[in-house]
Structure 1
Amino acid sequence: MSWRSLLCCCCCLALAFAAHADTHLDVGVVVFDPGIPADVATHTELRIFPRIREAEAQYLPVNLQRALQDAGQWGAVRVVPRPNALYELLLEGRIVESTGQRLRLHLSGRDASGRVWLQREYVAEAAEDDYPVPPGADPFAGLYREIAADLDAVRLQLDAATIAAIRHIALMRYAAALAPEAFASYLAGGEAEPYRLLGLPAEGDPMIERVLRIRNQEYQFIDHVDEQYGQLHDRMAETYSLWRQYDREQSLYKEEYLQRAATRDSAGRRGSFSAMQQSYYAYRAYRLQEQDLAELAGGFNNETAPTLIEASGQVYRLTGTLDNQYLEWQGILRDIFAIEVGLPPSAGASKDFAVPSQ
């Protein structure tokens, strides 16, 4: 064997070992389902303010993202507008209840092979000493740490070869979504069955090189989207924490009101009037905070600044919400890929390029 062949073999072995040794999966945390009932009449009873809940659906995933980053057991952890075939581990959540007193989230997590990591509800109660909320803190931080610990427990049950297979499956699912005729044969399963890896393209395959370049360009935009979610979160945090505090105080007052009303006497009535007056001022402050929060929440739901991004020597201008910009960018990347491989624009990708989690 020549020294060139030996060097080539050593490089291939080193690459294979590195792929198996790296156990840090990249994670996508999808913007949560806000869990708003269709029956508007129930909103007041359930203490749901739809505009605020819509903002919470994008605020709370950032808390989960940062808990996973703090754990230090993962690769890139990004908040993303919607699920697709890009992510090695995908987390989706639904807000069941969100008040100043209690947070209930239903979380599900699946890796690219379809293996279920999480499927349960998490509940946390805020204590009196959680308020006022210090800068950078959250009264329900323990809930996110519990989710991170559960995910890590699953990760520790998987060996390096299984982790490497998940990463390869994620890449092949992404490639097959772009060019089914070229890459679908590398995978088995799907739909109701787990995905299995049947093979990988040869090293240096020009088609997979194009896929990797397109994927990197999508990651580039996802990083921009993730940064925007983080900035909106931080801008909203102080007012949101105050709103939660007042919400908790108002709820506790309502729970105790009947008991106070039943036991007050003549002297107590004067004391109760004073308590009611204090409660009124607190409630007025709460409503003002709610109004301020609703205005900030609009930043999540209204159009953001246009995004300028480069691909294949051209600069593209994306407009609308982050979700709309993401969809527009995916369409551009599909068209670029199709043109490069000699297909009509929009014909190079499967209709499942943006796919629900399995």
Structure 2
Amino acid sequence: MHLMSALLISLLLVSGCKSTTTRTGPIAVGPGVTQSQSPSPEAKRYTYNSDIYLDVAIPVFNPGFPIDDDTGHVDYQELDELDIWPQLRRAEAKRFAVETKQALAKTKAFGSVSVVPNANTSADLYVLGTILHSDSEFIRLEVTVVDSSGEPIDTEDFEHQVSESFFRDAMNQDKDPYEPVFVEVADYVYELLTDMSEQQKQQLKNTTLVRYAHYYAPDAFAGYLSQQLESKRGTQFYKYELNAMPAENDPMLQRIEVLRNQDMLFVDRLQDHFAVFQHTTNGPYRKWQRETLPEAVRAREARSERNTKAVIGALGFIAALALGNNSTSTSTAVAKTAGALGSAWLLKDAYQANENLRVASAVIDEMGQGLDLTLSPQVMEFNEQEVELTGTAAEQYEQWKAHLRKMYQLESSAN
């Protein structure tokens, strides 16, 4: 009887094991069969049914440094506490702007999409990004979209967590682990665009043109714009309202259009510089992501472990103290001693976890050195006059705009 029971149990176990294997489709083998190990999802398709294409400016992202309220400068003590390496974060501010541009360009729903040093440029829409967090495992961004009237359309936060095994897959060797978050940003801006009516989009393009003309000739174009300080969701901004449009054959407007083309030429050149920066920093930045991802995970776990053990250890001491105060029995004394010893070990472990966190942070900091954007002097020409631009991208852009404004004023006085 025992032998029969054993056989029945064995058969049931074997049949149970077999039932765990299932097939969900036909078996395909032999020549002509293509099997993909990890099929990639289809690229998202965007359908933009409009003849009006808005130009987008993406200023270099705000690196998200903590600011001292008293001085208005970077709070380096808090910067250190947040484990932010300044040079790395500044490099990310440029890289993330470029990656946002690339994601937006893939929608094919906009006119020009340009990365610029700051928001002091001409565009129909501005995508303003702030880095809230970035440590190779987590990236969190705040994105605000502002139109050319100066009004913020909307603000949204975006977050993405990189899988610890991302770089184990050889197929991901040249892929950006942060890419999904920039696709989300592009989808977000695209949806805001498609919510606009044709009239709204044309109004924005007209406002962009008149604001640009007003920058060079404020007296001549003052009547076409009105400006007032407004507030939206606690944010103050200057709202520009278009009162009227100058005639298309207005000679002053036509001269402004020539200047605007020169302005756009400089911005186009800047795209080459940002592209070179992106390409140059791809290698070291990918290395930083790949080598610090395990450290970031370990740091997060160490931080959690440190906090948990520190709290439990402190509570153990409090409990042991409470036992000592409430009783003098031998058993209570033993419990008090055991609780105190256990708490001491937990606090020691918490200290060790904190040391692991410090070591992991040091590795991340070390890898963050040496990433920055350099811009060599360049010579621009307009109306047979050359001007050499030096300094950072933002400084060169301001020099070029000042030169264009000077040329416009000289032409105006000559006429």
After TM superposition, the score normalised by the length of structure 1 is 0.77
Q: Is the 8 A contact 1:85 1:173 kept in 2?
A: no
Q: Is the 8 A contact 1:85 1:170 kept in 2?
A: no
Determine the structure 2 residue equivalent to 1:116: 152
Determine the structure 1 residue equivalent to 2:194: 156
Structure 2 vs 1, CA of residues 188 and 283 (structure 1 numbering), >3 Å: closer, same or farther? Answer: closer
- Determine the C-alpha separation between the residues in 2 that align with 1:233 and 1:76: 19
Matched, 1:58 2:129: no
- Determine the C-alpha separation between the residues in 2 that align with 1:21 and 1:65: 21
Determine the structure 1 residue equivalent to 2:264: 219
Q: 1:49 aligns with which of 85, 89, 95?
A: 85
Residues 253-298 of structure 1, C-alpha deviation per residue, up to 9 Å, x if partnerless? Answer: 34456979x9xxxxxxxxxxxxxxxx9xx979x94x8656522x13
Q: 2:246 aligns with which of 201, 205, 208?
A: 201
Residues 155-193 of structure 1, C-alpha deviation per residue, up to 9 Å, x if partnerless? Answer: 112121211110010000111111111112112344326
Q: 2:221 aligns with which of 161, 172, 183?
A: 183
Following TM superposition, by how much is the alpha carbon of 1:200 offset from its aligned partner in structure 2, in angstroms? 1.5
Following TM superposition, by how much is the alpha carbon of 1:41 offset from its aligned partner in structure 2, in angstroms? 2.4
Matched, 1:294 2:369: yes
Q: Number of residue pairs matched?
A: 302
Could you list the structure 1 runs, at least 4 aligned residues long, displaced by more than 3 angstroms after superposition: 132-136, 254-260, 289-293
Q: Is the 8 A contact 1:102 1:124 kept in 2?
A: yes
- Determine the C-alpha separation between the residues in 2 that align with 1:319 and 1:174: 24
Instruction: Give the 3-state SS of the residue equivalent to 1:341 in structure 2.
Output: helix
For residue 377 of structure 2, what is the amino acid of its counterpart? P
- Determine the C-alpha separation between the residues in 2 that align with 1:36 and 1:231: 25
Q: 2:54 aligns with which of 20, 25, 28?
A: 25
Asked which structure has the greater RCO (Cα within 8 Å, sep 6+), the reply is 1
- Determine the C-alpha separation between the residues in 2 that align with 1:111 and 1:204: 26
Instruction: Give the 3-state SS of the residue equivalent to 1:25 in structure 2.
Output: coil
Following TM superposition, by how much is the alpha carbon of 1:58 offset from its aligned partner in structure 2, in angstroms? 1.1
For residue 369 of structure 2, what is the amino acid of its counterpart? A
Instruction: Give the 3-state SS of the residue equivalent to 1:124 in structure 2.
Output: strand
Q: Structure 1, unaligned stretches of length 5 or more?
A: 1-19, 263-278, 344-358
Structure 2 vs 1, CA of residues 242 and 248 (structure 1 numbering), >3 Å: closer, same or farther? Answer: same
Determine the structure 1 residue equivalent to 2:288: 243
Matched, 1:87 2:132: no
Q: Is the 8 A contact 2:214 2:221 kept in 1?
A: yes
Q: Structure 2, unaligned stretches of length 5 or more?
A: 1-48, 67-73, 231-237, 310-355
Residues 65-92 of structure 1, C-alpha deviation per residue, up to 9 Å, x if partnerless? Answer: 0000011111110000111251110111
Q: Is the 8 A contact 1:100 1:126 kept in 2?
A: yes
Determine the structure 2 residue equivalent to 1:336: 407
Following TM superposition, by how much is the alpha carbon of 1:135 offset from its aligned partner in structure 2, in angstroms? 5.4
Following TM superposition, by how much is the alpha carbon of 1:113 offset from its aligned partner in structure 2, in angstroms? 2.2
Residues 98-139 of structure 1, C-alpha deviation per residue, up to 9 Å, x if partnerless? Answer: 111111111111111234333122111111243268455211
Q: Is the 8 A contact 2:138 2:160 kept in 1?
A: yes
Where in structure 2 are the equivalents of 1:120-131 lying within 5 Å?
120-131=156-167
- Determine the C-alpha separation between the residues in 1 that align with 2:216 and 2:95: 31
Residues 129-158 of structure 1, C-alpha deviation per residue, up to 9 Å, x if partnerless? Answer: 432684552112111111111111111121
- Determine the C-alpha separation between the residues in 1 that align with 2:168 and 2:210: 48
Q: Is the 8 A contact 1:85 1:112 kept in 2?
A: no
Structure 2 vs 1, CA of residues 291 and 255 (structure 1 numbering), >3 Å: closer, same or farther? Answer: closer
Q: Is the 8 A contact 1:78 1:226 kept in 2?
A: yes
Determine the structure 2 residue equivalent to 1:320: 391
For residue 333 of structure 1, what is the amino acid of its counterpart? L
Matched, 1:305 2:343: no
Task: Name which of structure 1's ranges 221-230 and 195-204 shifts more when overlaid on structure 2.
Answer: 195-204
After TM superposition, the score normalised by the length of structure 2 is 0.67
- Determine the C-alpha separation between the residues in 2 that align with 1:68 and 1:169: 22
For residue 50 of structure 1, what is the amino acid of its counterpart? P
For residue 188 of structure 1, what is the amino acid of its counterpart? S
Structure 2 vs 1, CA of residues 218 and 259 (structure 1 numbering), >3 Å: closer, same or farther? Answer: closer
- Determine the C-alpha separation between the residues in 1 that align with 2:248 and 2:75: 55
Structure 2 vs 1, CA of residues 233 and 205 (structure 1 numbering), >3 Å: closer, same or farther? Answer: same
